[in-house]
Amino acid sequence: MYTLKEDNSQYIVNESYFYKTEPYYAIVKNENEGIKTTPRSSDVLDAYIVPICLEKAKLAGIQVCDWTISYHFVPLPALIYGLNYFSTPSDNFLVSDHEEAKKVIKHVTNHGRYPFCYQKMSDTSTVVRCASIFGKSIDCCEKVSTIAEKIYEVFRLPLVEIVLVKDESGCRLSSLSPVKYSQLSKDETEMLQDLLDRRVKRFE
């Protein structure tokens, strides 16, 4: 976890800001002490709960996937996210047949105890992922780069994976999820280090 300081303000940079992790508690501690912190704990919670994330992004003018909460039914094909206490947007499942869907639903609902969120896909839909580093992305088209910048303006997550659905109707946000340092490409790792170095020098 990197902590970048600027006067009475701090940036917390980490792979994940998931609830009850060290970065999350660091953010809450700062807020309780009156230190302005990026990201805020409320933004972290909003970002990692898929329906809330999409509604917040939609209000900011970002194109998002239509979503529905269900306990049993899911159209096919669809992208499924769990909504239980332990679920993370990193665990999403693209299902295209009923047997596969039944297994996934059983898993993400803990045998029917919790609801799940699904996004209806078309036969031409593809899921793409893009790492966003302080709102900047590498090896992404101009459209995705613009989305990454807007998402950073809304959620202020220094490091996050943007999950998008592309089809004939365009490119839409599906979710935001934690990103592992080990999954970053060489260019993305260099970008992260460069931005950290520049910010550290500026904040010292």
pLDDT for 4 beyond 50: yes
CB 202 within 8 A of CB 6: yes
**Which residue type, as a one-letter code, is found at position 4?**
L
Q: State the pairing for strand pair 159-167/92-95.
A: unpaired
Instruction: Please list the residues that pair with 118 across neighbouring strands.
Output: 68, 80
The 10s digit of each residue's pLDDT in 91-105 is: 999 999 999 999 999
pTM metric for this prediction = 0.92
What value does the CA radius of gyration of the chain take, rounded to a whole number of Å?
A: 18
The total of other beta-carbon atoms located within 10 Å of residue 120's CB is 16
CA dihedral 137, 138, 142, 143 (to 10 degrees): -50
**With 80 as the cut, is the pLDDT of residue 139 above it?**
no
3-state helix, strand and coil shares in percent for the chain, rounded to the nearest 5? 35, 30, 35
Structure tokens at 77: 């094909």
d(CA 166, CA 67): 15
- Look at residue 131 and tell me whether its pLDDT is greater than 70: yes
What local confidence, expressed as pLDDT, does residue 202 receive? 46
- Segment holding 61, helix H or strand E: none
Query: Which residues, at least 6 apart from 195, have a Cβ–Cβ distance to it below 8 Å?
Result: 133, 134, 136
Query: Is-cis flag, bond preceding 77, omega within 30?
Result: yes
Check: CB of residue 67 under 8 Å from CB of residue 173.
no
